[in-house]
Structure formats: C-alpha cells, structure tokens
Structure 1
Amino acid sequence: MKKSVLRYTGIWIFLVLGGLLLMHLLPGLTIGGHKLRRVDLLSDVRPPAAPVEEPDTLLPPPPKVKPAFVDTCRTGMTCIEDYSDSAMRGMTPFYRALDELLSRSRRMVRIAYFGDSFIEGDILTADLREMLQQKYGGRGVGFVPITSNVSGFRPTVRHTFGGWESHSAMDSVAFDKSRQGVSGHYFIPGPGAYVELKGQNKYASLLDTCWRVSILFYNKGDVTITARVNRNEPVSETFQPTGTLQAMTVEGRIGSVRWTVERADSTLFYGATMDGDAGIAVDNFSLRGTSGLSLRSIPMHTLREFGRERPYDLIVLQYGLNVATELGKNYDKYIAGMHTALEHLKEAFPQAGILIVGVGDRDYKTEEGELRTMPGVKNLMRYQQNLAADAGVAFWNLFEAMGGDCSMARLVEAKPAMANYDYTHINFRGGKHLAQLLYEALVYGKEQYDRRRAYEEMEP
C-alpha cells in the first residue's frame, strides 16, 4: 500500500512539474490593462535574454545640437543642449541674470520649476535650490500653495492651514480654468481661513529665515488680511479691488508668518512666498497626474500678472511620467499640445529662458519577470528633444543623466534606496543625486557661456 501511494505521489509531482514547464509556452495574458508574468520555473538558471531594441524608424531623428560655441561636454556629464536661435529663449536669459547678480546687483534670479509628481513635495528642487543659493546667494523656499496634500511630506517648510476651499486643474469637476493661478490652483477662503509657513533647517540650509514674504490674491471686493510675523503682534491691511493680482508683503528677518483672512468678498488666493532680498529663488510648481498640457489653459493675463510679481529668468518644464506608455511610439498629438503650451509661456514671460527636462527612466517587468526600461519612455524622450529644437529652447536629457536603460531599477536597488518600488518615482535621496547632476550641468553651461562671450569679444 505504501509503495502504491509513493508511486502515485511521484506520478502526480511529475505531471505538475511537466504542466508548469509547458505553461511557459503559453502566450502572455493581459487582465485589466496589466500584463501577467509568464510561468518560468527555470528563470533562475536560464541565461538572461539580450535586450530587444525597439525599431525607431517611426521616430523623429535626434536633432543636431546647434551651439553658438562648439565645445565638448565634460566626460561623465550630461550637458544642457541649447537649441535657441536669435530669439535667445534658451539658457542665455538665465546666464545673463546670473551675471547681473554676480556684479553685486541686489536682484533676485528666479526659477519656475514646473513638473508632475516626480518633484512633488520639493523632491529634487529642494536640493537644487540649496546648491544654487549656496553658490549665488538667496534664502527661503519660494512659492508655497495655500493648501497642499503633501504638506506633511515636504521637509523644506512647515506648512499648516485651515478654512480653505481648494481647487486644482486635475479636479474632475467644479474647476474653473479662468480662475486658476500659475500653479494650476486657486483657493477660496472661508471665515477665519489661515495659512502659516515656518522656515526649516533640518533638510536643507538657508531656509530657516528669509527676508520677504508675500501672499498673492485677486479680489473683486474689499479684503482684510492679517499677518503675524515671528509670533509678534499681528498687522492688518485692507485691500480694495484693482482688477489685477495683488500681494500683501512684509519684510525683515522672518522665521514664521501666519496669514489670516479676516474679511473677504469674492477673493481668490493663490499662494504665499518666502524669499531673500537677493540671490536665487526656486519655485516648485508640481501638479500630481499632469501631462503639462494644462499650462495652456492658464489665462494669459493671469500669467502676465504673476510675471510682474515674480519675473522669472528661467522656466523649467519636466513632464512625461503621465504620458509615456509601455510601448508608445507616436506622441505627435501630445508634442503638438506642448508646443502650444511653450508658446503660451513664451508670450507670458518674454524675459525668461526655457529648459525642457526630458522624462526620466521608468522600468517595468516583462512577461519573463525581468526589469526593463519602458520603450515608450525612450521614444517620448526623443520627441521632447525635438520639441526643444523646434521651439528654440534648451533641453536636458534626464534619462541619460540617470544612467540610461534600467537606471531607475539601479536607484531602487541602491543602498540606501534612491527610488520607490513603483520603479517610476525617486525619493529625496534620489532627488539629491539628480539635483547634483542638473546643478553641475547648469554651472558648466554658465562657464561655457562665459567662454563664448570672451571669445566673441576677442573677435575683430
């Protein structure tokens, strides 16, 4: 009897193993848009398959870089590719602004950094801000929206608020595009609505105090706002409608400020700012889930009014995570929309240079369970590069700077980890790493700009 049981058990095990081995021959299944991994009992001993290169015959060819001064990029660095023409809408306005700052001019050099969830919570921009402020001067965290879903996650400012009705461009209902500000938000105060910002020094330096803080709003009726700085006696001011963007501003050595709306009639608020009296300011305009196309819907007059209040010298656009698909090849429609957004920003901020930061690496598991870069990501990056060339702006290849194929997986597997297990988003350690690479590219670009200018001055 025991022999019979052992024999049937052995046969059963043999049949199960055989069935599992044969299941590897079945085609991959897709359920709910997600590919299921193929069964492969021999995956640990099977030699890895060579990466399959996607044909790129349908993609636009990479543009030829047209620098005004020919020079090689430093070994190991991913340099900024400046495709600007005589209109000089690439990096030149930013480098000229730095020249003015370095000539001991008491001016602000402002950067608006637009992006999606990749930079949410001040990831990457926090470290880029610190590096630039340490080199060129400046203090403060810059722009902060009135409310935020990630206020407890953002380490560069202590942000508390209450009594607000919040609206975002990514809302599916009840969003009025005509009311939105530069960040893609607007906020309506209730009775006693407040927002409090407190400088921090635990994550990055130069953020514990600042010199100039403002709250930005648009009112159709009278509004009374109280500012309480460093927990001292509050100061109130009443503003009558002007038909344009307004700001209540206080100055001094400021560690914390609490704004309270005492009385408001038909008033929209947009955000508060914390700046130094000179140097670098980096405003983080992250919007979770966006493709960047919503920039087209911000009213031109609103952008111009923000530009008068905060005249930017450089606008950075980093999008793509919410656009790239696993095998996407044709992004013509998206790029056409982004071209419209670029022209919209050019008209609204005529003094600013523009830098497109290409989409970063994003990995997925193949049917065999192997981590690979999504081919659609590399395809989108090529389209973005051509967008910069066609629009006459600058481009920085984040995918290349990260390390190319499967670089996101390497960041996830780093000790300690620099990216999340979704193989899509970096964490703050990864943000610091990438910010260092972008900072080096910006500084090197400034050095090349100085060399080119010196060369041109020597020409007869």
Structure 2
Amino acid sequence: MEKNYLKYTCIWAFVVLAGLLLMYFLPGFIIGEHVMRRVDVLSDVRVQTVPSAEADSLLPPPPKVKPVFVDTCRTGMTCIEDYSDSTQRGMAPFYRALDELSQHPRQVRIAYFGDSFIEADILTADLRDMLQSKYGGCGVGFVTITSMTSGFRPTVRHSFGGWQSHSVMDSTFFDRKKQGISGHYFVAHPGAYVELKGQDKYASHLDTCEQASIFFYSKGEVTLSVNVNRNGKQTRTFSSAADLREMKVDGPIGSVRWTVDEADSTLFYGLAMDGKQGIILDNFSLRGSSGLSLRSVPIWMMHEFNEQRPYDLIILQYGLNVATERGRNYDKYIAGMQTILEHLKDAFPQAGFLVVSVGDRDYKAEDGNLRTMPGIKNLVRYQQNLAADNAIAFWNMFEAMGGEGSMADMVHAKPSLANYDYTHINFRGGKHLAGLLYEALVYGKEQYDRRCAYEAE
C-alpha cells in the first residue's frame, strides 16, 4: 500500500503561505548598498491608500524663476529670427517705438538699405503703405536730390534741374569724405531746383504729407527758396555751419519745390516728405552695391544724419551683387559686412537691426533647366550667421519666396511677379514679398507683446 503525501504537501504549502504573509510585518532593511523592501504577496489585491498630504510637505519648494518665454512661429510663415542679446539691438527698439507711438504721437523711422532689388521703391513702397495703414503716417520719406529712376518710381513725382550729381558707385571724381548716408552728394548750379509731388495712384498716404525738408552742409552762406503747393515762395538764408543743416516747412503739403538762389561751398544730400507721427520708411537703394560701400560714409556724417533722422529700425538687404554660380566661401564679404554693422551701430546707437537675406536667383544649368544659383543658398546661411554673430535679427527672404526655384515660379506666374533676368522682382512681386515681410513684422510685435506680458507677471 502506497503512502499518501497529499496532506503533507498541503501542510507545507500552508506553512509557506503563512510565512510569506507574516513577512509583510517585517520592516525593510539595507544590506550593503541594496535596499531590501517589504514582502507583500497581496499587493495586487490590496486596496491602495492615498498618500497623506504631509508627504508633499517634505519636498523642496519649486523654483521661483519662471521658465524662459519661448517664441513660436505660425505655420506657413517665415518668421523673423531675433538673435539679440542683452544689448537689445535686434527688433526690440522698433517694437518699443511702436508701443510709444500707441501712447503718444511720435515718428517711428525705418531705414531700408539695399541694392537694385528695391530700386524705384519696389517692395519698400508696399511695405511702407501697409505699415502706415496700420500704425499711421504719411509721405514717401527720404529722396535723393536727383535719381536715375525718378521716372519709374510710382510713389512720388520727382523733377529736378541744374545739379551735379556724385555717387559712391562712380568710377571717377567722387570724394568719399563728402558723401551722405545714401552714398551721394550733390552740387547746385545757380538756380538749381528740385520738386517732389505726392502721388495717390500706387499707394495710399502719399498724396499729401505734413512736413517737407531739404538737407545740406555748407561752409559758406546759402539762400534757399521753397514753394509749397505752388502758392507762394518762402526764402531763407543760412550762414556757414559745421553740422548738417535742415530747412523744413509744415503742411499739408501736396507738392514742394526747392530752389537754390545762392550757394557757396554747399553740398546737398536729399529731401524728405514725412508725417509728424506714425511710420516713416526711407528707401536707400544703390544699384550694383554689395553693401560694403556703407563703411566709406564718414562716421561724423552718419552721426549728423542720426541727429536729423534718428532711426528705430535699420534693414539691410544685399547679396544680388555678391552671389555667384559656384560661390561657396563668403568669409571676406561677411567680414566686411561685420564692419558695416559696427559702423552703423556706432552711428545709430538707438536703432535695432534686421538683416534680410538675398532672395532666390536662378540660372540656366548645363542641361538647359532653370535652377537656383548654388551660391545663393550658401550666402543665405552666411547672412544668417552674420545676424547671429552680431546679436541682431534675421529674415530669410529666400525661404519666404518659396526656396529652390521660386524666382522662376515668380517669373512664370500669371501675371508675372518678376523679370526675365530671373534676378529682379517687379512691382507685383514687390507687393507680394512686402506682404510676407509685413506679416512677419506684425507677428513679431505680437510675440514681443506676449513676452513682455509674461515677464511682467
């Protein structure tokens, strides 16, 4: 007869279970670096108790420093990248100026420097119109005494006569020590005149302005006459002075004609039609320029212009005359542009700075297809690094246009937005790109306001 082990098995199982249950009452202990935790074979079925609030009181307090505000970018938009540091030379001065404008009347000035891409007020005309429509302002801003593109500029009717013109782009007979902020200076023959007349056919806010000015520097006596709205002449004589002079008349002004009655050793630089409050946008385009010629403008002259026209934002858009088909290394050019930024920061210490990259430029490859010039994309990255290294702001116009091959798309659009040189936009293209930059500026202001509100909490 076989022995029955079932009862012994049950007894041992009961003993083991009882032992495991009793081990729950043993406290945890540490052996060396290992923590032996309490044994609980009923943990899966035991009702969990909520830890008492007293346990949280043992935690260290949370940090008092708020996390840094993180800017966002709306989907589908090419936003402005602001690399400014504690010196705040990016977009902050411009946005602060807009805040001040909302509180009391003041002028908010923008200087837009560029090459033939913005010649004849292309792009800048529509950007000015959009900004003036939102923030107020009137007038076309700064205009040189004479211009090769006066007949093509739709934002002002510009006529002149009796002037000797000098440009930094001239190959001979140019004295760099005499030039003004636009890279020009002008000498008047007896009876020289220049007239500006507001326009309303292309953009709004340009038919009349609230004040008009002419800028000059004279080592001798000079007599000027001004006729506003062809209603009568005002004449004024200025003695010699060591600083930049401005003769100003108040509006409403639809047209203004300046005549040089007498001038002894006098250099003239430009005119302006402005509002007394709101946005003023000055177009400083220079055909064929890489931007490096700005460093030849004497720093004392820059300071003089800052006294007369202190800018809140300076935009630099160059590159068409720098990029090449096989360009890879732009170190020397960027080093030169860095000296330009230092020059301008010194001359306009209150201004913020925005670098606008070169746009797309296409060429016909060996297979006959149109492609983006390889040097363009390299230059865009160099310009982005220039902004980052100098703690200012950057806007990628190449990306905003659509990137690779976008210039060809603009040329072949119906109606066309660019010229068949696959390099320059037309006025329709300028309006399109101005809208993209305007959108980025306004969205950047909204983000700035959110950040200020967040940091003030």
Letter in 1 for 2:378: N
Letter in 2 for 1:267: T
Determine helix, strand or coil for the equivalent of 2:452.
helix
Letter in 1 for 2:212: V
| Residue in 2 that maps onto 1:455 | 454
Q: Give, in whole Å, the separation in 2 of the partners of 1:246 and 1:68.
A: 46
Determine helix, strand or coil for the equivalent of 1:172.
coil
Q: Give, in whole Å, the separation in 2 of the partners of 1:214 and 1:421.
A: 38
Q: Give, in whole Å, the separation in 1 of the partners of 2:240 and 2:406.
A: 52
Q: Give, in whole Å, the separation in 2 of the partners of 1:93 and 1:276.
A: 20
| Residue in 2 that maps onto 1:195 | 194
Q: Give, in whole Å, the separation in 1 of the partners of 2:69 and 2:233.
A: 55
1:262-277 map, 5 Å? 262-277=261-276
| Residue in 2 that maps onto 1:403 | 402
| Residue in 1 that maps onto 2:85 | 85
Q: Give, in whole Å, the separation in 2 of the partners of 1:369 and 1:183.
A: 40
CA gap 1:92/1:229 in 2 versus in 1, 3 angstroms: same
Letter in 1 for 2:446: E
**CA displacement 1:268-304 (0-9 Å, x = unmatched):** 0000000011000000000000000001010001001
Q: Give, in whole Å, the separation in 2 of the partners of 1:395 and 1:69.
A: 19
| Residue in 1 that maps onto 2:240 | 241
| Residue in 1 that maps onto 2:73 | 73
Q: Give, in whole Å, the separation in 2 of the partners of 1:101 and 1:305.
A: 24
TM-score w.r.t. the length of structure 1 is 0.84
Q: Give, in whole Å, the separation in 2 of the partners of 1:107 and 1:233.
A: 29
Q: Give, in whole Å, the separation in 2 of the partners of 1:291 and 1:78.
A: 24
Q: Give, in whole Å, the separation in 1 of the partners of 2:316 and 2:168.
A: 17
Determine helix, strand or coil for the equivalent of 1:204.
coil
Letter in 1 for 2:175: D
Confirm whether residue 356 of structure 1 aligns to residue 350 of structure 2.
no
CA gap 1:68/1:141 in 2 versus in 1, 3 angstroms: farther
Runs of 4+ in 1 over 3 A off after TM superposition: none
Determine helix, strand or coil for the equivalent of 2:130.
helix
Q: Give, in whole Å, the separation in 2 of the partners of 1:146 and 1:69.
A: 47
- Cα distance, 1:71 vs. partner? 2.7
**Structure possessing the higher radius of gyration over alpha carbons:** 2
CA gap 1:303/1:361 in 2 versus in 1, 3 angstroms: same
Confirm whether residue 182 of structure 1 aligns to residue 153 of structure 2.
no
| Residue in 2 that maps onto 1:290 | 289
| Residue in 1 that maps onto 2:169 | 170
Q: Give, in whole Å, the separation in 2 of the partners of 1:447 and 1:386.
A: 25
Q: Give, in whole Å, the separation in 2 of the partners of 1:270 and 1:354.
A: 23
Unaligned 5+ segments in structure 1 are 1-66
- Cα distance, 1:68 vs. partner? 6.5
CA gap 1:427/1:250 in 2 versus in 1, 3 angstroms: same
- Cα distance, 1:352 vs. partner? 0.1
- Cα distance, 1:225 vs. partner? 0.3
**CA displacement 1:355-378 (0-9 Å, x = unmatched):** 000000000000111000001000
**CA displacement 1:53-79 (0-9 Å, x = unmatched):** xxxxxxxxxxxxxx9631321011000
Q: Give, in whole Å, the separation in 1 of the partners of 2:367 and 2:147.
A: 40
- Cα distance, 1:118 vs. partner? 0.1
| Residue in 1 that maps onto 2:423 | 424
Determine helix, strand or coil for the equivalent of 1:289.
coil
- Cα distance, 1:394 vs. partner? 0.3
Letter in 2 for 1:173: T
Letter in 1 for 2:305: F
1:192-271 map, 5 Å? 192-271=191-270
Q: Give, in whole Å, the separation in 2 of the partners of 1:327 and 1:455.
A: 47
Letter in 1 for 2:443: Y
Q: Give, in whole Å, the separation in 1 of the partners of 2:201 and 2:366.
A: 43
| Residue in 2 that maps onto 1:100 | 100
**CA displacement 1:94-150 (0-9 Å, x = unmatched):** 0000000011x1100000000000000000000000000000000000000000000
Q: Give, in whole Å, the separation in 2 of the partners of 1:313 and 1:232.
A: 35
| Residue in 2 that maps onto 1:41 | none
**CA displacement 1:212-249 (0-9 Å, x = unmatched):** 10000000000000000000111000001110000110
Determine helix, strand or coil for the equivalent of 2:105.
coil
CA gap 1:200/1:309 in 2 versus in 1, 3 angstroms: same
**CA displacement 1:30-71 (0-9 Å, x = unmatched):** xxxxxxxxxxxxxxxxxxxxxxxxxxxxxxxxxxxxx96313
1:91-170 map, 5 Å? 91-103=91-103, 105-170=104-169
Confirm whether residue 280 of structure 1 aligns to residue 279 of structure 2.
yes
| Residue in 1 that maps onto 2:432 | 433
| Residue in 2 that maps onto 1:325 | 324
Q: Give, in whole Å, the separation in 2 of the partners of 1:79 and 1:177.
A: 37
Confirm whether residue 382 of structure 1 aligns to residue 371 of structure 2.
no
Q: Give, in whole Å, the separation in 2 of the partners of 1:398 and 1:221.
A: 46
1:54-65 map, 5 Å? none
CA gap 1:395/1:162 in 2 versus in 1, 3 angstroms: same
CA gap 1:68/1:175 in 2 versus in 1, 3 angstroms: farther
Unaligned 5+ segments in structure 2 are 1-66
Q: Give, in whole Å, the separation in 1 of the partners of 2:213 and 2:72.
A: 43
- Cα distance, 1:160 vs. partner? 0.1
**CA displacement 1:290-337 (0-9 Å, x = unmatched):** 000001010001001101100100000000000000010000000000
Q: Give, in whole Å, the separation in 2 of the partners of 1:200 and 1:312.
A: 25
Letter in 2 for 1:381: V
CA RMSD of aligned residues (A): 0.8
